[in-house]
A and B are shown apart, each in its own frame.
Chain A
Amino acid sequence: MTTEFVFPKIHTFPPLYTEQPNSTILSNQLDSWCQIILQYCEFYKITSLNRNGTPKYSQIESLSIDSLPPIFENKSINRSTNDNFRNVIIHHLIYKLKKAQYIDPKKPELGIYVYWRSLVEWGQLLYDYVDSTGQLGTVLTLYELTKSDESGLPDSLKNLDEGLLIKIVKDYLIKQGKAQILMNEDNEIGGVKIV
């Protein structure tokens, strides 16, 4: 992945980095920001962000996550959002657009999952993969479902963040009655059985 994400033109609009006092304008501005975040994350297959808005996890292994162009900063026009505004944007993304969730609601400092693909869509993808490979009803380890080179994982699922995988299973598949989880010896979720 050598190509770089092309930010929309509004990303070089200097006032975008200042929280607008006019509430109608602000809501437009927040929508614009969220759009940028979602496009950016989808482009780099980033499934979670740190609290300060830097990428936390990407499915693309070869991606050096620390050298990506920052979302909340534009060096070419010498602008960046302050922490407070950044939180407002993330809050908007989580509660208004419902396109993100805290990784752990009790520990917001751990960052957020960004849902450019919804949990339902993820769950469907996972289920379809397990179904199409004849593995329904078989116990699968998380390692097998994310890292393994031999299991013919589709690119969309490859190298998925295990935390997100667990969330997909817990918040969607189990609620649908389609999955059950298994604990490993460290009493952590280590496997899943999808039927």
Chain B
Amino acid sequence: MGQQTSTPPKITAQDKAIFQLKQQRDKLKQYQKRLTIVIDKQSNLAKQAIKDKQLDRAKFYLRSKKQQQSVIEKTYNQLDNLEGLIGTIEFKLIEKDVLYGLQQGNAVLKKLNNEMSIDKIDKVLDDLQDERVKVDEISDALGMGSGLTNQEEDEVDEELRQLELQVNGPTKQEIVEDKLPQVPTDKIMPQVPNEPVHDTEEPNIESERPNEPIAN
């Protein structure tokens, strides 16, 4: 344990107070011990005096013995008081420590709670909203800022429409073509058994096929 010489513990004012009390207690204990010895001696002396038929003297010893005994009783009361006081102080010190602990805990809790106040939370949420708006604005700004003016954008749209027309033809015809399956072509098929052969002869003329329904 502890190889390094650390600083010795400090003696507090409370330590000193308890020390004083304990010293008083020790003195009382010593005093009691002394009195007990005196009492023993006096009872022996009294016995001896009775043996020697010196009743007066025996009575004197007994009387002073009685006196000592009452003193001892008193010292016991005082001792009780002292021990009680020491006990109370020591307990109070522990209570103080506990209180200190509680205070510390409370302070920490308070601090934590302060950090969690409603205002703060509202503010944080508001801030959050603000930031989100900003993000939208920025992305809007970024969308507008792709390098084209409104007119150019319109032109691009127009070009797209043209291209679509070229590739797919007018959109209305597409709708008609969609309706084609409703026509019972399957009944016609048996009457024209050679047509599939023609079809295979000119399979690449796809562009003519959409026109056929119009001819019919």
Contact = CB atoms under 8 A, between A and B. Distances in A.
B10 A139 contact: no
Interface in A149-195: 174-180, 182, 184, 190-191, 193, 195
Interface in B1-45: 1-2, 5-11, 15-16, 18-19, 22-23, 26, 29-30
Contacts of A178: 2, 8-9
Contacts of B1: 176
Report the interface size class on chain B: 10 to 19
Nearest to A142: B26
B127 interface: no
Interface residues of A, number: 21
Contacts of A175: 5
A148 interface: yes
Contact of A190 (B2, B10, B23): B23
A138 B90 contact: yes
Nearest to B22: A141
Contact of B5 (A137, A139, A176, A191): A176
Contact of A143 (B11, B15, B18, B26): B26
Contacts, number: 57
B9 A182 contact: no
Which of A139, A143, A175, A190: most chain B CB closer than 10 A? A139
Contacts of A180: 8-11
B152 to A, nearest CB: 85
A104 interface: no
Contacts of B9: 137, 177-180, 193, 195
Contacts of A140: 22
Nearest to A182: B19
Contacts of A138: 18, 90
A191 B20 CA distance: 9
A182 B11 contact: yes
A177 B6 contact: yes
A190 B11 CA distance: 13
A138 B8 CA distance: 14
Interface in B180-213: none
A191 B22 contact: yes
Interface string A123-156: 0000000000000011111011000100000000
Contact of A139 (B2, B18, B29, B30): B18
Given A178-B2, A182-B11, A191 B23 contact: yes
Nearest to B14: A139
A141 B8 contact: no
B26 A139 contact: no
A195 B7 CA distance: 12
Contacts of B18: 138-139
23 contacts: A139-B11, A139-B15, A139-B18, A141-B23, A141-B26, A143-B29, A143-B30, A144-B22, A148-B26, A174-B8, A176-B5, A177-B8, A178-B2, A178-B8, A178-B9, A180-B10, A182-B11, A182-B15, A182-B16, A182-B19, A190-B23, A191-B22, A191-B23
